[in-house]
Amino acid sequence: MNVSELSGFPFEADPMTQAKSDPGAFTRLYLRHYDAIFRYCAHRLFERTTAEDITSEVFLKMMENFQTFDGNEMQFRNWLYRIATNAINEHIRKTTRRSAILTWVWRGKTQDDTPDTSAADESQHNQAVIKKALFLLKPEEQAIVTMRFFENLKTEEIAEVVGTTASTVRSQLSRAIEKLRKHISVQPDGQEVTL
């Protein structure tokens, strides 16, 4: 993915330099990245209000150092992901959100132990299983899995976000997947999961 493919916006000549002095260019830069960062937060937290709060925190934090940021737009995007990752991890550690979310994603199963029969119920059940499994990972592992599978970032890009090497990311990803596999049993057709 190159810069011009981000959020489907056309490439803008030297947008970072322009955005530092031109509020219009700054606004366009913000709009190009808002959706991706919000979605990442929502995919990590499964909850809109908190995801919006963290998204605000990310951009306001970015604003504090924007004038001294020295990089291209791709690096800027990775920088936003890095701020978001740190903010989300911090949020998960500081609050009881982790257990609250676990309860929330699992509510459907615990409230009704009767096996689901309809396709919709099955799909809902599968989703709850995956969400719960994701939340059983360490926040750092969950970040890597989310960036890889939901945001479609390459391992090299994830490495830049989390400040490590691509090979380390691949190892961490491999370990995280192994953990997920312990919680999720994936059938060969990829349709059924259990915990």
Q: Output the furthest CA–CA distance in the chain (Å, rounded).
A: 60
> Which of the stretches 8-16, 23-31, 78-86, 91-99 binds other proteins when contact is defined by CB under 8 A?
23-31
What's the gap between Cα 102 and its chain centre? 17
Residue 8 interacts with other proteins (CB under 8 A): yes or no: no
Site for other proteins in 44-83 (CB under 8 A): 46-48, 51-52, 55-56, 59-60, 63, 66-67
The least CB distance from residue 179 to other proteins, in Å, is 11
The alpha carbon dihedral of 69, 73, 74, 76 has a sign of: positive
Per CB under 8 A, the list member of 3, 74, 177, 195 interacting with other proteins is: 177
Cβ atoms of 64 and 46 within 8 Å: the answer is no
How far is 34 from 17, CA to CA, in rounded Å?
A: 19
The least CB distance from residue 7 to other proteins, in Å, is 11
How far is 165 from 77, CA to CA, in rounded Å?
A: 18
Per CB under 8 A, the list member of 75, 122, 149, 179 interacting with other proteins is: 149
Cβ atoms of 195 and 130 within 8 Å: the answer is no
Q: Determine the residue type at 25.
A: A
Count of beta carbons in the 10 Å neighbourhood of residue 27: 11
> Which of the stretches 72-80, 111-119, 120-128, 157-165 binds other proteins when contact is defined by CB under 8 A?
120-128
Which residues in this chain contact other proteins in the complex, by CB under 8 A? 21-24, 26-27, 30-31, 34-35, 38-39, 42-43, 46-48, 51-52, 55-56, 59-60, 63, 66-67, 123, 126-127, 130-131, 149-150, 173, 177, 180-181, 184, 186, 190, 193
